[in-house]
Amino acid sequence: MGRGSHLADETKTPRTERGRKTLRKLLDAAAVEFGEKGFHEASISSITQAAGVALGTFYTYYDSKDAIFRALVRDMSESVKVTARDGIAGIADPLEIERAALQAFLRFAGEHKEIYRIIDEAEFVDPESYRSHYETVAERIAERLAAGGRAGAFRAGLGETEAWALMGMNVFLGLRYAIWAREGDPAPDEVAGAANAMLARGISRPR
């Protein structure tokens, strides 16, 4: 979940492995706290208690609740990026890359359901991070579409509009099948396969 320069300023980069582990504990605890309670009801004391970290240690890394929230949005955005990158590793076919990226995201969202609430709240808590998250995801999709065009797998000229449309589909499929999952739902690979078939064939009836 933003790439604003203020994020780097507000998070003190740990210099030791112990410090990096402490920072990770704080972010993981913050994800649960914000995910369960929302930004306004969440508290620094609850985050530190869940992380097993002293309150004073929190302020070694973050200046405020706002600061750790913004850092968490950035961290989640990075996790989405890494998840997609790992999911498509070694795949050459552009259409298969889109299927694998969606499948990886659906699995990630299912394991980290808090991501939707936290990203949605960022629209109001830190609009810059919220916008940056979606813009960077769309940029990565646009790059993949352009690469597919150069490879001859996609039609030429696909760009920002198509990237945002594809991202929108993925976001709402994650909402329905990861966050609002119900018994009997298709598995992530089936959902990704159905979406990929629609990308490949469209929805109009052949004439």
* Planar angle of CA 54, 60, 61, nearest 5 degrees: 105
In a domain, 170, yes or no: yes
Query: pTM score > 0.75 for this model?
Result: yes
- 10 pLDDT band, cuts 50/70/90, is low
Task: Identify the CA nearest to 111 among candidates 163, 192, 179.
Answer: 179
| Residue 8 predicted with pLDDT over 90 | no
Mean pLDDT of 86-98: 97
| pLDDT at residue number 11 | 61
- 12 pLDDT band, cuts 50/70/90, is confident
| Residue 4 predicted with pLDDT over 90 | no
The whole-angstrom separation of Cα 173 and Cα 57 is: 39
Q: Could you give the percent of the chain with pLDDT greater than 90?
A: 90
In a domain, 186, yes or no: yes
DSSP 8-class letter at 177: I
User: 89-104 b/e with 16+ CB inside 10 Å = b?
Assistant: eeeeebeebbbbbbbb
In a domain, 207, yes or no: no
Task: Identify the CA nearest to 148 among candidates 189, 77, 96, 191.
Answer: 96
Mean pLDDT of 134-138: 97
| pLDDT at residue number 111 | 97
Mean pLDDT of 126-133: 96
In a domain, 145, yes or no: yes
In a domain, 206, yes or no: no
Question: What would the pLDDT profile of 102-112 be if each residue is shown by its tens digit?
Answer: 999 999 999 99
| Residue 82 predicted with pLDDT over 90 | yes
Range of the domain at 47: 5-201
| pLDDT at residue number 205 | 83
Mean pLDDT of 20-34: 96
**Average pLDDT, whole number, for the chain?**
93
Mean pLDDT of 81-99: 97
Task: Identify the CA nearest to 195 among candidates 168, 163, 173.
Answer: 173
| Alpha carbon distances (Å) from 45 to 11, 52, 72, 111 | 18, 10, 16, 25
Question: How many structural domains does the chain have?
Answer: 1
Mean pLDDT of 39-65: 96
Question: What would the pLDDT profile of 177-207 be if each residue is shown by its tens digit?
Answer: 999 999 999 999 999 999 999 999 998 987 7
**Which domain CATH number covers 16?**
1.10.357.10
Tokens of 1: 């979940």
| Residue 9 predicted with pLDDT over 70 | no
| pLDDT at residue number 139 | 98
In a domain, 162, yes or no: yes
In a domain, 124, yes or no: yes
The whole-angstrom separation of Cα 204 and Cα 122 is: 37
